[in-house]
Structure 1
Amino acid sequence: MRRTHLLWTIAAAGLAVDQITKAIAAVAVEGHEPRDVLGGAVTFVAFRNSGAAGSFAPRATLAFTLVAIVVLFLIARVSRSIRSTGWAIGLGLIFAGAGGNLTDRIFRTPGFGRGAVLDFIQIGDSGIFNLADQCVTAGAAVVLIQTFRGVPMRAAVTGGIGSRALER
Structure 2
Amino acid sequence: MQGTGREVQRRALAVLGTVLVADQATKLVVEARLPLGISIPIIPGVLAFTHVHNRGVAFSLLGGIPLLVPAAIALTLLFLLFYNTARWSRRPVMQAALAMLGGGAIGNLVDRVRVGAVVDFIDVHVWPVFNLADIAVTAGAGLLILLLIRGDR
Per the shorter chain, which TM-score range? 0.7 to 0.9
1:15-30 alignment runs, 5 A limit: 15-30=20-35
2:43 corresponds to 1:38: yes
Q: Secondary structure at the match of 1:121?
A: strand
Provide the residue aligned with 2:17 in structure 1. Answer: 12
> Which whole-Å CA distance do the structure 2 matches of 1:70 and 1:4 have between them?
22
CA distance in 2, matches of 1:58, 1:32: 17
Secondary structure, in 3 states, of the residue corresponding to 2:67? helix
In 2, are the aligned partners of 1:100 and 1:132 still within 8 Å (CA)? yes
Write out per-residue CA displacement over residues 141-167 of structure 1, whole angstroms, 9 at most, x where no aligned residue.
Answer: 11011112113xxxxxxxxxxxxxxxx
Residue 60 of structure 2 contacts residue 128 of structure 2 at CA under 8 Å; is this kept in 1?
Answer: no
Unaligned ranges ≥5, structure 2: none
Q: How many pairs were matched up? A: 146
Name the larger-Rg structure. 1
Secondary structure of the residue that 1:12 maps to in structure 2? Answer: helix
Query: How do residues 42-121 of structure 1 correspond to structure 2 at under 5 angstroms?
Result: 42-77=47-82, 81=86, 82-108=89-115, 115-121=116-122
| Contact preservation (8 Å) 1:4, 1:79 | no
CA–CA distance in structure 2, aligned partners of residues 3 and 21 of structure 1: 27
Point out the structure with the larger helix share: 2
Give the whole-Å Cα distance in 1 for the aligned partners of 2:56 and 2:113.
14
Q: What is the aligned-residue identity percentage?
A: 28
8 A Cα contact 1:14 1:97, kept in partner: yes
Larger RCO: 1 or 2 (CA < 8 Å, sep 6+): 2
Superposed CA offset, 1:26-54 (max 9, x none): 11223473111135421000111111233
Q: Is the 8 A contact 1:71 1:98 kept in 2?
A: no
Gaps of 5+ in 1: 109-114, 152-167
Distance 2:58 2:43 in 1: 24
| Residue of structure 1 in register with 2:123 after alignment | 122
Structure 1 length as normaliser, TM-score? 0.78
Distance 2:49 2:131 in 1: 10
